[in-house]
Amino acid sequence: MSRFVNRFTVPLAIFAVLVVVFAIGIKDSPQKDLIPSPLIGKPAPAFALPSLTDPGRKVTSAQYRGHWYLFNIWGTWCIDCRIEQPMLLKIKQAGIIPIVGLDWKDDPKDARTYLKQAGDPYQSIGMDQDGAEAIMWGAYGAPETFLVNPEGIVVYKRIGPITERAWEQDILPRLPLTSTPDSASSS
Amino acid sequence: MIPELGEFALILAMLLSALQGFFGIVGPAVKRERWMAAVLPAVSGQFVMVAVSMGCLITSFVNNDFSVKYVAENSNSALPLFYRIAALWGAHAGSLILWIFLLAFWSIAAAIGTARLPKPFASRVIGVLGVISFGFLLYTLATSNPFLRLDPPWPDGESLNPLLQDPGLAGHPPVLYTGYVGLAVAFAFAGAAMLEGRLDRDWARWTRPWTTAAWAFLSCGIALGSWWAYYTLGWGGFWFWDPVENASFMPWLMATALIHSLAVTEKRGLFKSWTLLLAVLAFSLSLVGTFLVRSGVLVSVHSFAAAPGRGEFILAFLVVMIGSALALYAWRAPLLKSEAGFELTARESFLLFNNILLVTACATVFAGTIAPLIAAPLGLGKLSVGPPYFNPTFLLSILPLMALLSVGIHARWKRGSLGNRARILILTLVVSLVIGCGVVFGLFTGGRVLSPIGIGLGVWIIISSLIDPIDRLRRHITIPRAVLGMTLAHIGLGIFVISITSVEAFTAERDVALAQGGTTQLGEYRFQFEGVKPIQGSDYDGVAGTILVSHDGSPVAVMHPEKREYFVQHIGTTHSAIYMYRVSNILVALGQDLGDGRWSMRVQVRPLVTFIWLAAFIMAVGGMLAISDRRYRIAEAREPAIEPVGAVTRSGAG
């Protein structure tokens, strides 16, 4: 064994590799808060959920067939969702893509009161009181957001609040330039 | 004024820690007595300044000074005083202040504890601690200053996350951090030995109590965190293999390995370079844990405090601290020579297996924790690492460890015969397996394949740990506290194994919807729902349910699970009611109001779950008992000289 390669330098070498991995983890900003989801590249789960804001109506995946949309899992109990709220309102104002909410393990009354106070960024919201729908999406925390294309395929997933940066660098570039909710129809 | 004072004190503390690091490490290198003499004033000053700074932040919290951003974001005038203080470590910047305060506390304790050791060595230990303090102070001031002002001040604060408004929160982070940070002392001892280029059995004896103390705090801290999650998150889980939990568990596994390896180094002068490496790795994992949790690299359910943009700094700090320690190791460790050999069946071998298995267990947890991070750049995608990965891989290395323990503690140093203990060991193994099978197939039903093994091993660990103390008692030989501590810690481990096994195998759980007067049956337990009543707290209101629980027809308890709504943040929390009946925990959590007086709820019976935390506490007490052993006190008073590497030391304490 040479002077520089022996069993005592192995820990240092392993550490160096780890540092590179960590550095990529930090620097690679589009990947930063993106924990791989088995759903990426696959069809989004089909859903038909009772609407939070319009009782008696249903929010379904069929309504969004042919449109880009963001599927945002949230709850009034979730701190980070409140942090995310202003950004979602901005996205709504931009008018580029509709947001479909999934009100996860929440009290519908609380949720309605909250949206009245804080503003409602969603085009429609499905209720998921028992958490069954969120499981279909593989969510394990809130907020989580999925970008779904007109073919119903999940193209991007974000864990944690959508930041200004994530919106500009991860979500906007994935959308076709000319797209508005109505012109992106593929059928 | 007070926040500015706090910030100023923090800056002074940083400057003092720089002096502490410089004089502590450079002083012995250039052999300047007066430089080394400056280390003690520097570390004392640093401690005082950090304490002043933390006092200022606490004062701002107590006085509801909402012109301070951190206070405004984490406290509220409606919050009870107790939680206003605990809110200090409710988020990132304050947690760091706590971290720094505890590090300063350990540093001053180490300065006092090493006062009787050779001067160059003691000053190097404190010097290394100074470098760590400096890094964290710089990090806090540069990226996470808790004293920043708001202009204009907020009329009232945003309040603390209600999930964190809990007695468990007040206790969990300080205890856990005490353990985390305590490993810095073992790291500093290793650093000093490597800087000095020599390490002998005295070094191991000096290092042992510090390591064991940190380990005991870490054990308690992890147990408190698990207990907190169990009853606040409301769903009765106690361990989620969450990155934040893993971040505390990995240093614990390493510290456990280190404690055992230090025993070999002290008694036999073996495993020297290995012990050094473990000391470096244990604290490195504390740092990496901080990095993973704080940098936002891994987003976790628990990371209330993750903040992007800080990762770069922590990574740079990791490179400096861990990188230089490992480089030093690569340079110095080859100089260390073992003082003797040993036979394959000697106690040294068993402790070697203990170390290999613990490090393997730690490595599997580490791999699982950072796998999503590695998979992303490699384009492997689709990685979901959870209990299906962690449970089996962890057991793969931990089960053999449990099995070897009972034999290992009876093996002798150096020579491999178990002597007359072999027969009694086999006897106890048989008895334990019989008890294990009996418990699983007799008392309860529905156990899985691993259950009799788990309970059998747990019982065996307890019984075999008792053989030696009972033998000594019968022969009227005094039992040293170190042996008593070890025995207690191993018994704690046995209880831990038994309770985990029984919780995993025998938990019964049901989600039901009940109207007033409705009942549900769970095994021998019957739950009757008596409706809900409104409740009112100082910063929340909500409802409390009433549930009558009976066992085999006789009443057991009246339970009141709550659902609370916090005013300031409009956040609802679930407060499950937990009642301990015999050895089982009965848990009731309120779900949703389904209208017409009907509520969904979860009822659960977990046998022995309380013993999981009790076991961790017993282990910690065992550790503390071992620290109080005479030989650590007497030996230090003798002031043994450090001898060169490879020399046979005279003080064989074993």
> How far is B592 from chain A, CA to nearest CA, in Å?
7
* Amino acid at the residue B321: M
Q: Give the pLDDT of residue B158.
A: 65
Alpha-carbon B637 to chain mean position: 31
Residue-wise pLDDT for B260-294, tens only, equals 999 999 988 889 999 999 999 999 998 887 766 65
Q: Which two tokens stand for residue A185?
A: 């129809």
Closest CA relative to residue B158, chosen from A103, A82, A74: A82
- Phi, psi (deg, nearest 5) at residue A156: -160, 145
CA distances from A54 to A50, A125, B390 (A): 8, 9, 43
Structure confidence at residue B380 (pLDDT): 56
What number of H helices and E strands is found in chain B? Answer: 20, 10
Instruction: Name the average pLDDT for chain B.
Output: 84
The pLDDT assigned to B444 comes to: 54
Closest by CA position to B147, among listed B58, B223, B233, B63: B58
Residues from chain B that touch A114, judged by Cβ atoms under 8 A, are 570
Task: Note whether B156 and B13 are within 8 A (CB).
Answer: no
User: Which residues of chain B are within 8 Å of residue A15 when distances are taken between CB atoms?
Assistant: 284, 322-323, 326
Does the pLDDT at position B593 exceed 90? no
Residues of A in contact with B377 (CB under 8 A): 21, 24-25, 28, 31
- The first and second tokens of residue B641, run together, are 């000289």
Q: Which residues of B372-383 are buried (b: 16+ CB within 10 A; e: fewer)?
A: bbbbbeeeeeeb
| Model pLDDT for residues B406-458, shown as the tens digit of each residue | 888 888 888 766 666 777 778 788 878 877 777 666 555 555 667 888 888 99
Pairing of strands A69-74, A99-104: parallel
Q: Which residues partner with B574 through β-bridges?
A: B563
- CA R_g for chain A: 20
Torsions phi, psi for B604 (to 5 deg): -150, 140
Are the Cβ atoms of B330 and A79 closer than 8 angstroms? no
Residues of chain A contacting residue B280, judged by C-beta atoms under 8 Å apart = 11
Distance CA(A128)–CA(A106), nearest Å, equals 7
Q: Would you tell me which residues 41-70 of chain A have a C-beta closer than 8 angstroms to some C-beta of chain B?
A: none
Contact B170, B86 (CB under 8 A): yes
* Cβ atoms of residues A76 and A140 within 8 Å: no
Residue A25 to residue B161, Cβ atoms within 8 A: no
Distance in angstroms (rounded) separating the CA atoms of residues B173 and B178: 8
CA angle B565, A51, A187 (to 5 degrees): 140
Task: Give the percent of chain B with pLDDT over 90.
Answer: 41
The whole-number pLDDT of residue B443 equals: 56
Least CB-CB distance to A19: which of B299, B319, B374?
B319
Alpha carbon of A187: minimum distance to chain B alpha carbons (Å): 29
Q: Is pLDDT above 80 for B356?
A: yes
Residue numbers in A near B372 (CB within 8 A): 35-36
Residue among B467, B465, B500, B470 at smallest CA distance from B485: B465
pLDDT of residue B549: 94
**What count of Cα atoms within 13 Å lies in the side-chain half-sphere of residue B579?**
20
Scored b (16 or more CB within 10 A) or e, B433-442 reads: bebbbebbee
Give the DSSP H/E element, type plus range, for residue B213.
Answer: helix B201-232
- Calculate what percentage of chain B has a pLDDT beyond 70: 85
Question: DSSP strand E in B221-275: where?
Answer: none
Question: Angle at the Cα of A106 (from A102 to A110), degrees rounded to 5?
Answer: 110
**Residue B274 contacts residue B382 (beta carbons within 8 Å):** no
Q: Cβ of B160: how many Cβ atoms within 10 Å?
A: 28
Collapsing DSSP to helix, strand or coil, B53 comes out as helix
Q: Is B65 exposed, middle or buried (0-12, 13-18, 19+ CB in 10 A)?
A: buried
Residues B573, B564: contact at Cβ < 8 Å? yes
Nearest-Å Rg of the Cα atoms of chain B is 26
Of B315, B381, B600, the CB nearest to A19: B315
| pLDDT value of position B451 | 82
For residues B405 and B576, the model is more confident at B405
Query: What DSSP letter does each residue of B336-376 carry, written as one string?
Result: ---S----TTSHHHHHHHHHHHHHHHHHHHHHHHHHHHHHH
Flag whether pLDDT at B307 surpasses 60: no
Residue B630 confidence (pLDDT) = 81
With CA atoms as reference, report the closest residue to A174 among B308, A182, A153, A163: A153
A113 touches chain B (CB under 8 A): yes
Decide if B145 contacts B7 (C-beta within 8 A): yes
Burial label, A177 (beta-carbon count in 10 A; 0-12, 13-18, 19+):
exposed
Structure tokens at B316: 């740079």
Contact B318 A23 (CB under 8 A): no
Q: How far apart are CA B85 and CA B74, in angstroms?
A: 10
- How high is the ipTM of this complex? 0.79
CB distance from B420 to chain A under 8 Å? no
DSSP codes, B477-506: PPPPHHHHHHHHHHHHHHHHHHHHHHHHHH
Closest CA of chain B from A182, distance in Å: 32
Output the six-digit token pair for B377: 């750049």
Residue-level pLDDT, tens digit, chain A, 187 residues: 455 667 888 899 989 988 887 777 666 533 334 445 567 778 888 898 999 988 788 899 889 988 999 999 998 766 677 778 888 988 998 888 999 999 987 778 778 877 877 789 999 999 987 767 877 787 656 788 999 999 888 988 887 778 777 888 889 888 886 544 443 333 3
Beta strands A99-104 and B554-559 are unpaired
Close Cβ partners of A2 (under 8 Å, ≥ 6 residues apart): none
Q: Which two tokens stand for residue B494?
A: 């046995």
Beta bridge partners of B535: B542
Dihedral (Cα; B339, B341, B346, B350), 10-degree rounding: 70
B74, B92, B163, B297: which to substitute to probe chain A, counting the most A Cβ within 10 Å? B297
Contact B297 A6 (CB under 8 A): no
A25/chain B closest Cα distance in angstroms: 6
User: Which residues 129-148 on chain A approach chain B with CB closer than 8 angstroms?
Assistant: 129-130, 138, 140-141
Bridge partner list, B607: B584
B87: DSSP letter: G
Looking at the DSSP bridge assignments, the partners of residue B544 are B533, B562
DSSP B385: -
Residue B625: closest CA among B479, B471, B496, B497 = B479
HEC profile for B425-468? HHHHHHHHHHHHHHHHHHHCCCCCCHHHHHHHHHHHHHHHHHHH
Does the beta carbon of A20 lie under 8 angstroms from any beta carbon of chain B? no
Q: Does B372 touch chain A (CB under 8 A)?
A: yes
Tell me the C-alpha to C-alpha distance, in Å, between residue B239 and each of B249, B461, B511.
Answer: 11, 23, 20
CB atoms within 10 A of CB A62: 11
pLDDT tens-digit series, residues B144-185: 899 988 877 877 776 555 656 677 767 888 898 899 899 999
B226: which 2 tokens?
């698990």
Q: In which element (H, E) is residue B557 found?
A: strand B554-559
Distance, in Å, from the CA atom of A58 to the CA atom of A69, rounded to the nearest integer, reads: 17
- Tens digits of per-residue pLDDT, B528-566? 999 999 988 877 888 899 999 999 889 999 999 888 877
At residue A29's C-alpha, the angle toward residues A24 and A30, to 5°, is 115
Convert the pLDDT of each residue in B192-208 to its tens digit. 999 998 888 899 999 99
Interface test with A, best of B382, B593, B599 (most A CBs within 10 A): B382
Q: How far is CA B177 from the centre of its chain?
A: 8
Give the distance from residue B404's alpha carbon to the nearest chain A alpha carbon, in angstroms: 27
A23 in contact with chain B, both atoms CB, cutoff 8 A: yes
Separation CA B595–CA A40 (nearest Å)? 38
What is the tens place of the pLDDT at every residue in A134-166?
777 876 567 889 999 998 889 888 877 787 778
Chain A contacts of B282, Cβ < 8 Å?
A: none
Distance of CA A181 to the CA centre of its chain: 18
